Amino acid sequence: MSMLALASLRHRRTAFTATFLSALLGAALIGAFATLAQTATGAGVSDADAETLTIMGIVVGGWGSLIVLFSVASTLGITVRQRAEEIGLLRVVGATPRQAGRLVLAEASVVTVVAAVLGAALAWPAGFALLALLRNGGMVGDDVAYGGGVAALGSAALLVVLTSLVAAAVTARRTTNGPATLAIADARAGGSGRMPWWRTAIGLVLVAYGLGMAVVTITVTADQDDPYAAMSTSGSSSILVGVGLAVLSPVLLRWLARLCAPAVGRAGVVGWLAAYNTSRRSQLLGNVLAPVIVLTSAAVGVLMLVGIDHRTIGAQATDEGDTINLLNNVVTGMIALFAAVMVVNAFAAVVAGRRQELRRLRLLGATTTQVERSVLAEAGIVAGIGVLLGLVASLATVVPFAVARDEGVVPDGQLWLPPLLVAATVALTLLAARSAVHRLGPLTGAAR
């Protein structure tokens, strides 16, 4: 099986590069925060410093992990699902479902183990830089020595590998359990957007939790003496709701794409094709929608939060406030960077798997421009829906925190920020789609 797995990896480089990159970045991000937690256990670290470092490492790192693991799982999901036909072929020539499943797992482990080890290696200097940031901000004592080591880096790598394997196993089981047949219905490769119950449940719980924290902020923590109590309850709400909506993305995409289909369809055959592809194969494009939602909700939510904090108590700036905001910015920056890479990755993987289908369009007489524009129109629909949902999710942080700091439902400033972030996100999504199509090369050639 391992020989077959390696051959298959070489064969579909683009799709696996996407998995590799997300696992690499994931291990680097989680590992960097894990080193803080390990540093806290070092000798000579005061109790207060140890508490700060542990909270930072576990809590902030935990948030990052949630996003990272979700991304790795979804990228891996795309690459496995797109191989339904090939797995059907393996089954026909005599592979049992178990063998086919093992092949998928073997590939996933090769890619993610290598990526996670490299990512953990990157996490070592990244963790060092994080600690330096905290020391300079005066958040921990200058005497705290960097203690990142094998325990932190190893567990980060292990976490990424294990999640990837679970994701691969779940997807593989769904793909390999069917009857052995070559005539896999095309529809299966795209998915209709129906999700297993547990995925719906996870999404709803996350959204409800985020909204709950928002309500707690307005009703309870807003009135407390500590000005940062409201921040601690509302700060992560936008990310929670954003990730929850991202988990539900296939269903949301199906509904919303159908809503905008009549309007987009008026934009000629290109928009018409795009509208149907997005709504009827929302399972596939949901993987692109998810990071767009998270990117928008995290960036808008946290940056607005920092802005409100700066306006309301920035005048009487405390060291504590400065470092908290610095940290907020660092974390948001990392999440945004990660989500941006995911958008590019997911598009590359999705488009690479559609080569045959896009060629089919060319055979039927679509010009290269028409094919390219229809993929771009899909990206436009996904980006539009993604930023819309992301903005809605960001309200879960922005509104309660603005209320808590007596700015009212609408914050007093920085209203230029959301449109700017939205424009950047849409531009990124369109560019990702464009480069993914260009990477396919010419779509002509001999018919089969």
* Beta-carbon count within 10 A of 415 CB: 11
For residues 277 and 290, give the distance between their C-alpha atoms in angstroms, rounded to a whole number: 17
- Nearer to other proteins by C-beta: 239 or 371? 371
Is residue 109 within the footprint of other proteins (CB under 8 A)? Answer: no
Is residue 277 within the footprint of other proteins (CB under 8 A)? Answer: yes
- Residue 193 Cβ vs other proteins, minimum distance, rounded to whole Å: 11
Exposed e or buried b per residue across 60-95, where buried means at least 16 C-beta atoms within 10 angstroms of its C-beta:
bbebbbbbbbbbbbbbbbbbbbbbbbbbbbbbeeeb
- Residue 18 Cβ vs other proteins, minimum distance, rounded to whole Å: 22
For residues 435 and 372, give the distance between their C-alpha atoms in angstroms, rounded to a whole number: 10
For residues 241 and 42, give the distance between their C-alpha atoms in angstroms, rounded to a whole number: 36
- Nearer to other proteins by C-beta: 91 or 405? 91
- Residue 315 Cβ vs other proteins, minimum distance, rounded to whole Å: 56
Segment near other proteins (CB under 8 A); pick from 48-56, 186-194, 203-211, 394-402: 186-194
Helix (H) or strand (E) holding 33: helix 13-40
- Nearer to other proteins by C-beta: 247 or 273? 273
- Residue 342 Cβ vs other proteins, minimum distance, rounded to whole Å: 24
Using an 8 Å Cβ cutoff, are 45 and 39 in contact? yes
- Residue 257 Cβ vs other proteins, minimum distance, rounded to whole Å: 11
Binding mask 307-346 for other proteins (x = CB under 8 A): ----------------------------------------
For residues 390 and 243, give the distance between their C-alpha atoms in angstroms, rounded to a whole number: 9
Among 276, 326, 330, 412, binds other proteins (CB under 8 A): 276
- Nearer to other proteins by C-beta: 6 or 269? 269
Binding mask 129-168 for other proteins (x = CB under 8 A): ----------------------------------------
Among 190, 210, 244, 291, binds other proteins (CB under 8 A): 190
Among 43, 93, 150, 183, binds other proteins (CB under 8 A): 183
Q: What SS3 class is residue 89?
A: helix
- Nearer to other proteins by C-beta: 288 or 426? 288
- Residue 373 Cβ vs other proteins, minimum distance, rounded to whole Å: 12
Among 189, 261, 295, 308, binds other proteins (CB under 8 A): 189
Is residue 3 within the footprint of other proteins (CB under 8 A)? Answer: no
| Strand locations in 92-250 (E) | none
For residues 61 and 322, give the distance between their C-alpha atoms in angstroms, rounded to a whole number: 20
Task: Give the total of residues touching other proteins (CB under 8 A).
Answer: 31
- Residue 139 buriedness (CB in 10 A; 0-12 / 13-18 / 19+): buried
Is residue 280 within the footprint of other proteins (CB under 8 A)? Answer: yes
- Nearer to other proteins by C-beta: 128 or 272? 272
Among 102, 281, 373, 405, binds other proteins (CB under 8 A): 281
Rg of the chain (C-alpha set) = 23
Give residues 344-403 in contact with other proteins (rule: CB under 8 A): 357, 360-368, 370
- Nearer to other proteins by C-beta: 365 or 441? 365
For residues 344 and 433, give the distance between their C-alpha atoms in angstroms, rounded to a whole number: 8
* Beta-carbon count within 10 A of 430 CB: 17
For residues 235 and 294, give the distance between their C-alpha atoms in angstroms, rounded to a whole number: 14
- In angstroms, how far is the first alpha carbon of the chain from the final one? 29
Give residues 36-75 in contact with other proteins (rule: CB under 8 A): none
Q: Give the closest residue to 103 by CA, choosing from 163, 169, 58.
A: 169
- Nearer to other proteins by C-beta: 46 or 177? 177
Output the DSSP codes for 42-69.
Answer: STT--HHHHHHHHHIIIIIHHHHHHHHH
Segment near other proteins (CB under 8 A); pick from 88-96, 156-164, 181-189, 334-342: 181-189
- Site residues (CB under 8 A) for other proteins? 183, 185-190, 268-269, 272-273, 276-277, 280-281, 357, 360-368, 370, 444-448
